[in-house]
Amino acid sequence: MTTPSTSLLERLSNVPVIPVLEYHSVEEALHVSEALVSGGLPWLEITLRTPVALEAIRAVAKALPQAVVGAGTVLNAGQLHAVRDAGAQFAVSPGLTQTLADGARDAGVSLLPGVATASEAMFALENGFTFLKFFPAEAAGGVPMLKSLYGPLAQLKFCPTGGIDAAKAPTYLALPNVVCVGGSWVVPKDAVAGKDWARIRSLAQEAAKLKA
């Protein structure tokens, strides 16, 4: 049976890093996204933390058909419908509620829900989610926590996000229950401010070489 997360998991192959993005203009979104995709990171999580987020999702999805555009910081069912209509192919949430789980089914959106504890992971599993965001990764126990979860919940796969950088990513990716990691280190704020798209592309190329 296809669950709300298996379809997402099946599509995510050979992509070790999902950039977590906070765009402040459509122009910025297009330049940064193009640099990331051309650097080998086609999966993009555009967070709903700025007023232009939905417009950015729509613009990037249209301009870069080779990208797999997703929406992050999704908190309710209404946002699931909004990001789907904007062109997002998946959604990421910091946590999971019953309303959000039901909303993902109704909207037909692949949802990557966040969990931080065994109980939250079990709740997600009860709702058919087997691919989860472990968030906030470093604050919630990091690699030792994921190792501990593997024993009783080996059927679950994770995308740890929160406090992960280029140095920490390989340790996470070496875990048997980790598919990929989420992070913003590939898009440094000073590179965006300086419009140094080549630097972002280079960081994406380095991240794309990491392998779970």
User: What DSSP line would sit under 37-59, residue for residue?
Assistant: HHTT--EEEEES-STTHHHHHHH
| Per annotation, catalytic residue among 45, 62, 168, 189 | 45
115 found inside a domain: yes
- How many Å apart are CA 185 and CA 207, to the nearest integer? 10
184 found inside a domain: yes
73 found inside a domain: yes
Low-confidence ranges of the chain (pLDDT < 70): 1-7, 13, 212
- Measured CA to CA in angstroms, residue 178 lies from 16, 52, 153, 210 at distances of 9, 31, 12, 13
Tell me the DSSP string of 145-185.
Answer: HHHHHHTTTTT-EEEEBSS--TTTHHHHHTSTTB--EEEST
- Single-letter amino acid, residue 57: I
pLDDT value of residue 10: 73
Within 39-152, where are the H helices?
Answer: 53-63, 77-86, 98-107, 118-126, 142-150
Question: Is residue 55 annotated as a catalytic residue, yes or no?
Answer: no
- How many Å apart are CA 114 and CA 96, to the nearest integer? 6
pLDDT value of residue 33: 98
pLDDT value of residue 1: 42
pLDDT value of residue 108: 86
206 found inside a domain: no
- Measured CA to CA in angstroms, residue 146 lies from 105, 121, 126, 159 at distances of 27, 11, 19, 10
Question: Is residue 157 annotated as a catalytic residue, yes or no?
Answer: no
134 found inside a domain: yes
Tokens found for residue 105? 């089914």
| Per annotation, catalytic residue among 133, 138, 157, 206 | 133
pLDDT value of residue 12: 75
Query: What CATH number is attached to the domain comprising 193?
Result: 3.20.20.70
58 found inside a domain: yes
Task: State whether residue 19 is helix, strand or coil.
Answer: strand
How many domains are contained in the chain? 1
Domain that holds residue 53: 6-200
- Measured CA to CA in angstroms, residue 171 lies from 19, 31, 75, 156, 189 at distances of 18, 30, 29, 18, 25
- How many Å apart are CA 69 and CA 39, to the nearest integer? 15
pLDDT value of residue 6: 58
1 found inside a domain: no
157 found inside a domain: yes
